[in-house]
């Protein structure tokens, strides 16, 4: 098994950042479902191996990172009690927030305005389209970048997605960075010009606009992860990255409980947001052949490059033979070398089921990766790093994003088998 990627020699408790408070069972029942179902951040001690991580994940809690044998999780009080009953020590982590007005980040309106400006400034290579509407009726923008942007050309296609999880705002900034990179450097940077001329590039800057807006309502962060559709029992939200239709709910890598942070929904694609992106991906099948060849789904945090499968710890599984596994691992290693992240199969951290990258690979044959962005540990901001890191941490993925687009014509080149698998 690959080493745990987020095991860092970083102190868990940084002065002024984290205060530890023992869980009080008397406070265990949810009292305000509208506010994260009373979810909170906890630290779980004694998380020493893969089995520990999967036992904790099996309670429905969301594992955010693991550092020096301690897991940082988001959980309801009931899930925290379940973890306690498994024999782990659980402590509540109260994390100080960033400034209420974090002007360096884009809220939904600001993001849409920036996309409109970019489309107006670069009409020959960029189109601002729409996936459709979110649960609350917000438009889900879809960006196409190509030299003949109004035409459907026979070129390899690349998909970059962001913000399935509401509190992961840095991923929206990553998507906006890519829009600027491919448009503003076109005609200036020969490498980028070549890619725009030979690829069709799709960017989904905001998969979860409802959750993202709710997470910052009132000018403060609410640690919200899911979307905002009713989930039953007075709760709201489905974990979009557990709602995809391959191995949905199969393997204790998500939760059937509506209050859980990893609630997978009543059925695959029950969330309108995953339906919209699914329908777009399926629309890219031309003559039965999927035109999207490679994808990155951006998340935070832990600084990881992950590949399928998440539902099983086996490196090989149906649809993922030796050559495919080697290709994922080799290409993942190349991408990780460029940004300093740790490469590993998704399940090496813990089991997840119903994820987008498993669905993209198993059903569409897309070389799909999850990037867990900055930071590598919670003491550097966790899900809410300061706006001062945006420029550096988005540019950090420049090379990896370009490399993936370059390999989209035939990923098997990384293992020298392009003649076998990509003869034309």
- Which are the contacts of 212, defined by CB distance < 8 A and separation ≥ 6? 107, 108, 163, 166, 169, 172, 206
Tokens of 217: 């309502």
Written as six digits, the tokens of 78 are 């009931």
Place of tokens 């849409």: 112
Are the CB atoms for 320 and 361 separated by under 8 Å? yes
Cβ distance 407 to 327 under 8 Å?
no
Cα gap 9→54, rounded to integer Å: 22
Catalytic residue among 78, 168, 303, 372: 372
Burial (CB < 10 A; 0-12, 13-18, 19+), residue 238, is: buried
Q: What is the tally of helices (H) and strands (E) in the chain?
A: 12, 17
Residue 77 Rama label (left phi>0; alpha psi -120 to 50; beta): alpha
- CA nearest neighbour of 46 among 70, 82, 64: 70
Residue spans of alpha helices (H) in 345-389: 356-364
> Which residues are CB-contacts of 48 (< 8 A; sequence separation ≥ 6)?
69
Is 157 a catalytic site residue? no
What are the catalytic residues?
372
């Amino acid at each position: 098994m690959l080493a745990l990627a987020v095991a860092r020699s970083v102190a868990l408790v940084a002065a002024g950042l984290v205060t530890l408070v023992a869980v009080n069972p008397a406070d265990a029942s949810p009292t305000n479902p509208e506010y994260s179902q009373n979810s909170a951040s906890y630290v779980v001690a004694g998380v020493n191996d893969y089995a520990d991580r999967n036992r904790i994940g099996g309670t429905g809690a969301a594992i955010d990172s693991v550092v020096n044998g301690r897991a940082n999780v988001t959980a309801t009080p009931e899930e925290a009690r379940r973890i306690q009953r498994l024999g782990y020590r659980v402590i509540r982590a109260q994390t100080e927030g960033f400034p209420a007005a974090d002007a360096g980040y884009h809220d939904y309106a600001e993001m849409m305005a920036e996309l409109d400006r970019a489309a107006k400034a670069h009409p020959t290579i960029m189109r601002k389209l729409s996936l459709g509407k979110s649960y609350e009726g917000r438009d889900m923008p879809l960006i196409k970048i190509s030299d003949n942007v109004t035409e459907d050309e026979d070129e390899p296609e690349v998909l970059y997605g962001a913000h399935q999880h509401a509190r992961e705002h840095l991923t929206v900034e990553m998507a906006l960075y890519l829009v600027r990179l491919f448009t503003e450097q076109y005609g200036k940077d020969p490498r980028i010009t070549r890619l725009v001329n030979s690829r069709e590039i799709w960017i989904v800057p905001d998969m979860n606009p409802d959750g993202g807006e709710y997470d910052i309502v009132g000018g403060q962060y609410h640690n919200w992860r899911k979307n905002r559709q009713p989930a039953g029992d007075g709760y709201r939200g489905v974990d979009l990255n557990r709602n995809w239709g391959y191995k949905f709910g199969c393997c204790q890598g998500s939760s059937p409980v509506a209050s859980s942070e990893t609630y997978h929904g009543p059925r695959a694609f029950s969330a309108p947001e995953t339906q919209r992106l699914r329908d777009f991906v399926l629309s890219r099948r031309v003559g039965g052949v999927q035109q999207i060849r490679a994808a990155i789904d951006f998340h935070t945090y832990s600084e990881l490059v992950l590949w399928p499968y998440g539902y099983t710890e086996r490196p090989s599984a149906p649809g993922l033979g030796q050559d495919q596994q080697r290709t994922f691992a080799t290409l993942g290693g190349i991408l990780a070398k460029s940004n300093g992240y740790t490469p590993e199969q998704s399940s090496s951290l813990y089991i997840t089921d119903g994820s987008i990258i498993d669905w993209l690979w198993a059903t569409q044959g897309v070389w799909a990766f999850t990037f867990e962005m900055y930071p590598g540990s919670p003491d550097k901001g966790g899900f809410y790093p300061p706006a001062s890191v945006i420029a550096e941490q988005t540019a950090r993925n420049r090379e990896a994003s370009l490399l993936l687009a370059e390999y989209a014509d035939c990923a098997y080149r990384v293992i020298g088998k392009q003649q076998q698998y990509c003869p034309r």
